Amino acid sequence: MAVTLDDTIAKRQHTWSSALFSSQTFWVLIAILVACVYLSFASKAFLTPQNVFNITRNFTFTAIIALGMTFVIITGGIDLSVGSVLCLCSMVIATTMHAGAPLYVGVIAALACGLAVGLFNGVLIAYLGFPSFVVTLGILRWTKFGRHVFAIGGNEHAANLTGIPVRPIKVAVFMISSLTAAIAGIVETGWLGAVTTNIGAGMELQVIAAAVIGGASLVGGAGTAIGALVGAALIEIIRNSLGLLGINPFWQGTVIGLAIVVAVAFERVRQLRSRD
Amino acid sequence: MAVLELNNISKHFGAIHAVNDVSLSLEPGEVVGLMGDNGAGKSTLVKMIAGNYLPTLGSMKLDGKEIVLHRPVEARRHGIEIVHQDLALANNLTAAANVFLGREMKTGIGPFSILDYQGMYKRAGELFKDLKSETRPRDIIKQMSGGQRQAVAIARTMLSNAKVVLMDEPTAAISVRQVAEVLNHIKHLRDQGVAIVLISHRMPDVFSVGDRVIVLRRGRKVADKRIAQSSPEEVTGLITGAIEQV
């Protein structure tokens, strides 16, 4: 049968399975599973309810901000303020509540603070009661805004020429990043029941690492919300298991750094292959 | 009737007269080659039509009505599209995403509307079919050939039912085989009744798809002839100044 132009145009280059295997998120997920299986044998403490709760709770803080950070990274930018925003917003909620205000007043104050540093979609997310995961997951893939975020990271000049409001969108992605930091600050304050001035210190690098391990490219133009979550999960498992295995915590940075190197190498290999 | 008419257009930058007293008209479904050496005023002229520059003197008519273009977006609203030399494509997005960049189709109501992926894939596929291009809407630009990229940039102009398309050196940076592909795209675009201004340094391109050739030299129009009545030798002479004017 002759191949018509219609067939060619309608043809999909990637099947579902090839898209899955070339996805960085998928391989990080495999790495997490392998690590979990190995660790459940290597350490008796790993697969206990307490520790699983520990991991999933600690993962939340990084994961929430990594979602916001992914927006910024896709546009080719980077947000080094999230650790400080988390601290600031934690302070806001703690001092407000210490002054006698009820929980919801503290939460609103902290979120407003996040928005003051960074403002967008905040009301939508905060007042709908933290569906931030769902919103962020959807925003990147299904909205015009998400599409434009990717376009700016791919070719800013082209985005400008096609009439995309490049500057407002750049502001908005930093607002989203700060907002997610505010949300994480609220959650973390709720867990700790106290705030110190160094809460969130160094958090930005961990969050960036999570986004990058999850497939966000530091040169812009690539990244997913699910990837950010999966990347955050891998980092927390690395941190947690090093402690359980009795390895000096100084090695944490080394191992997480190694994970980033592998993630970036993975991306390079994929790029080289697609060039052939 | 002419779709676009330029009457005694001039553009001065201080003492420099980049374009001087140029008049021309474009008919629907016509390909006009715009030629000239570097600094002859080609890009200044095109930028006035595209709304980047306001003419110092002279007037422009679209479909017989006078228009003044202050910004590129106004030109686009009037149905004047430009295909930039660097194509203005985002390499990390699909062909369909690039065709609709800045003009995405959506489904749903108000703030709850989401991108209409299926609709955009379908419409982009139809546009590529009109161009007789084997470009797949779901492919990422990064993996596409120079000819296919041109098809994406041209399809973008068809989205809005453009009346006039300005093409800036569309064949400058691609392989010989792809040049033929791009010239075919231009023919198919012309067949839809679009008036095309083809800015090119390549004589064979202008002589294979052009109906008419306009030559600028030092800001002035020195020739406006039907391709059939001219020759590459004559045009070369006009560009260099060996032939003064025809």
Q: What CATH number should be reported for the domain holding residue B27?
A: 3.40.50.300
C-beta atoms of B88 and A153 within 8 A: no
* Residues found in chain A: 276
Which whole number is the average pLDDT over B161-181?
85
Domain that holds residue A256: 25-36+44-275
| Sequence-distant (≥ 6) Cβ neighbours of residue B156 within 8 angstroms | A162, B81, B83, B98, B99, B101
Measured in whole angstroms, how far is the alpha carbon of residue A153 from the centre of its chain? 17
- Encode pLDDT of B6-34 as tens digits: 999 999 998 899 999 999 999 999 999 99
- Encode pLDDT of A173-184 as tens digits: 878 888 888 888
- Backbone φ and ψ of A254, nearest 5°: -65, -45
Chain A neighbors of B148, CB-CB under 8 A? none
Task: Report d(CA A140, CA A36) in Å as an integer.
Answer: 29
Residue B233 lies inside a defined structural domain of this protein: yes
* Beta strands at B80-83 and B31-35: parallel, antiparallel or unpaired: unpaired
Residue B116 lies inside a defined structural domain of this protein: no
| ipTM exceeding cut-off 0.85 for this assembly | no
Residue B101 lies inside a defined structural domain of this protein: no
**Residue type for position A56:** T
Chain A neighbors of B91, CB-CB under 8 A? 154-155, 221
Task: Report d(CA A40, CA B244) in Å as an integer.
Answer: 87
Question: What's the pLDDT score for residue A69?
Answer: 81
- Encode pLDDT of B187-220 as tens digits: 988 998 999 999 988 899 999 999 999 999 999 9
Asked if B77 has any chain A CB less than 8 Å from its own CB, the reply is no
Measured in whole angstroms, how far is the alpha carbon of residue B207 from the centre of its chain? 17
A63-72, A259-268, B144-153 — most confident range: B144-153
Q: Which of A143, A163, A221 is nearest residue B102 as measured by Cβ atoms? A: A163
Judged by DSSP in three states, B148 sits in helix
Contact residues of A toward B, CB < 8 A:
5-6, 8-14, 138, 141-144, 146-148, 150-151, 153-155, 157-159, 161-164, 221-222, 274
Nearest to A201 by CA among A90, A95, A114: A90
Residues in a beta bridge with B221: B216
Query: How many domains does the structure of chain B reveal?
Result: 1
Q: Tell me the pLDDT band of B223, cut-offs 50, 70 and 90.
A: very high
In this predicted model, which residue has the larger pLDDT, A47 or B54? B54
- Encode pLDDT of B122-155 as tens digits: 999 999 988 888 899 999 998 888 888 988 998 9
C-beta atoms of B134 and A8 within 8 A: yes
Q: Which of A138, A148, A155 is nearest residue B91 as measured by Cβ atoms? A: A155
Residue A146 lies inside a defined structural domain of this protein: yes
Asked if B95 has any chain A CB less than 8 Å from its own CB, the reply is no
Dihedral in degrees, nearest 10, Cα atoms B150, B199, B14, B71: -40
Q: Tell me the pLDDT band of A119, cut-offs 50, 70 and 90.
A: low
Which residue is listed with tokens 């291009």? B133
| Sequence-distant (≥ 6) Cβ neighbours of residue A83 within 8 angstroms | A181, A200, A201, A202, A203, A204, A207
Nearest to B46 by CA among B84, B15, B8: B84
Chain B neighbors of A144, CB-CB under 8 A? 104, 106, 115
C-beta atoms of A163 and B73 within 8 A: yes
Instruction: For A271, name the nearest residue in chain B, comparing CA atoms only.
Output: B142
Mean pLDDT lowest among A126-130, A240-244, B41-45, B204-208: A126-130
Q: What CATH number should be reported for the domain holding residue A54?
A: 1.10.3470
Mean pLDDT lowest among A84-93, A124-133, B149-158, B172-181: A124-133
Task: Report d(CA B151, CA B148) in Å as an integer.
Answer: 5
Chain A neighbors of B98, CB-CB under 8 A? 158
H or E, element range at B208: helix B203-209
C-beta atoms of A221 and B91 within 8 A: yes
End-to-end CA distance of chain B: 24
Residue A15 lies inside a defined structural domain of this protein: no
Instruction: For B133, name the nearest residue in chain A, comparing CA atoms only.
Output: A5
Nearest to B197 by CA among B113, B16, B14, B75: B75
Chain B neighbors of A151, CB-CB under 8 A? 90, 93, 97, 101
Domain that holds residue B196: 4-90+161-240
Residue A265 lies inside a defined structural domain of this protein: yes
Chain B nearest CA to A164, separation (Å): 5
Query: How many domains does the structure of chain A reveal?
Result: 1
Residue A9 lies inside a defined structural domain of this protein: no
DSSP state of B143: G
Q: What is the 3-state secondary structure (H, E, C) of chain A?
A: CCCCHHHHHHCCCCCHHHHHHCCHHHHHHHHHHHHHHHHHHHCCCCCCHHHHHHHHHHHHHHHHHHHHHHHHHHCCCCCCCHHHHHHHHHHHHHHHHHCCCCHHHHHHHHHHHHHHHHCCCHHHHHHCCCCHHHHHHHHHHHCHHHHHHHHHHHCHHHHHHCCCCHHHHHHHHHHHHHHHHHHHHHHHHHHHCCCCCCCCCCHHHHHHHHHHHCCCCCCCCCCCHHHHHHHHHHHHHHHHHHHHCCCCCCHHHHHHHHHHHHHHHHHHHHHHHHHC
pTM for this structure? 0.71
Q: Which of B84, B101, B138 is nearest residue A151 as measured by Cβ atoms? A: B101
Asked if B88 has any chain A CB less than 8 Å from its own CB, the reply is yes
Chain A nearest CA to B106, separation (Å): 8
Asked if B86 has any chain A CB less than 8 Å from its own CB, the reply is yes
Measured in whole angstroms, how far is the alpha carbon of residue B232 from the centre of its chain? 22
| Sequence-distant (≥ 6) Cβ neighbours of residue A78 within 8 angstroms | A72, A208, A218
Mutate to test the interface with B, among A7, A9, A135 (most CBs of B within 10 A): A9
Residue B103 lies inside a defined structural domain of this protein: no
C-beta atoms of A5 and B129 within 8 A: yes
Question: What's the pLDDT score for residue A116?
Answer: 76
Residue B99 lies inside a defined structural domain of this protein: no
Interface of B with A in 150-189 (CB under 8 A): 156
Judged by DSSP in three states, B32 sits in strand
Task: Report d(CA A198, CA A83) in Å as an integer.
Answer: 9
* Contact in structure between B125 and B117 (CB atoms under 8 Å): no
C-beta atoms of A221 and B73 within 8 A: no
Q: What is the mean pLDDT of chain A?
A: 76
Q: Given a cut of 60, is residue B65 above it in pLDDT? A: yes
